[in-house]
Structure 1
């Protein structure tokens, strides 16, 4: 296992992966949502796509053994291990300045969309857009009438997911800055997360 790398609270990090490498993302404190994206290293216009993933899986939660597919319906990663209860989100868009304005925030608020672009710039890349992320550990229950709620994660400290790269790609992770809803725990306090290559 490589050294642990830190995803600071409210910030993002990008990691280049070569085909066959496994990325482990760790919910260090148990309550932190990590927005996750992956872009083809060859062509960033091909990326992990939640719309295509749901159609491919026939459900809204990926689980260990599932291929995570791109907008060209090709596997970009495989979810090989998940030590959490497996509650993640594929429905909700990344937070952005417009989302926080809608929640009543008048000043700039850190957000996952900006974190994605900043993390890509930090490694000399550019994200062509902000696709809907795989929101690791985000708990968005859907009721029988189709309504959704924003609830605290059900993960515990140290839970992790392992994802094996099926092509050379760039993984981007954002420790979600949401502090106006309890998606990062009842205390509404964004915290750090960690990742490593295994």
Structure 2
């Protein structure tokens, strides 16, 4: 297994039919996850389009994850967690941490995405809203968002199967100012492996 260190990002190329298993090693880590069509970086996994496609904000095992062209790019083939993943919240960035009171630089998922893609020579034309694996964001009946702690357990994993040749990017979210990465607000590493 390979590791995505705490507060960092990794990009992996998948051929159609291959899969990636992402393991929440410690059980508390949110992983911002993106997918891009390998042949066209302007076609991306899209949470806005996914909501209409699924009729839900919570993808579940067996669901297709679609692009901004409404085509499946990944299948959520396996999910051993309670299945609570966020599709509403944008990737954190410098502006988010400034709004939370951070005065200097703070690692963030937007920069992690761009750095991970640069390492494999894939262009970053946009920062789509990610699939936030294991991020628990309850929405109350009046529309209020709650920043919950993950419901996942150590070793829970998801397997994402590629429908097309694609690039998958994972960022171990560096958020340490609110409890989305657990009560102690400490980002940690996760593991992943590519499966045939």
TM-score of the two chains, using structure 2 as the length reference: 0.99
Q: Distance in 1 between matches of 2:47 and 2:11?
A: 19
Q: Which residue of 2 aligns with 1:17?
A: 14
Tell me, which stretches of 5 or more residues in structure 2 are unaligned? Answer: none
The answer on 1:38 being equivalent to 2:31 is: no
Q: Which residue of 2 aligns with 1:188?
A: 185
The answer on 1:134 being equivalent to 2:149 is: no
Q: Distance in 1 between matches of 2:149 and 2:3?
A: 22
The answer on 1:164 being equivalent to 2:161 is: yes
The answer on 1:68 being equivalent to 2:65 is: yes
Output aligned runs, 1:48-197, within 5 Å: 48-197=45-194
1:53 Cα deviation (Å)?
A: 0.3
Q: Distance in 2 between matches of 1:98 and 1:71?
A: 25
Q: Distance in 2 between matches of 1:197 and 1:126?
A: 22
CA deviation map 1:133-167 (0-9, x unaligned): 00000000000101101111000000000010000
Tell me, which stretches of 5 or more residues in structure 1 are unaligned? Answer: none
CA deviation map 1:77-132 (0-9, x unaligned): 00010000000000000000000000000000000000000000000112111000
Root-mean-square deviation (CA, aligned residues, Å) is: 0.4
Q: 3-state DSSP class of the match of 1:194?
A: strand
Q: 3-state DSSP class of the match of 1:45?
A: strand
**Structure 1 residue runs of 4 or more that deviate by more than 4 Å after TM superposition:** none
Q: Distance in 1 between matches of 2:163 and 2:154?
A: 28
The answer on 1:28 being equivalent to 2:25 is: yes
TM-score of the two chains, using structure 1 as the length reference: 0.98
Q: 3-state DSSP class of the match of 2:43?
A: coil
Q: Distance in 2 between matches of 1:64 and 1:86?
A: 8
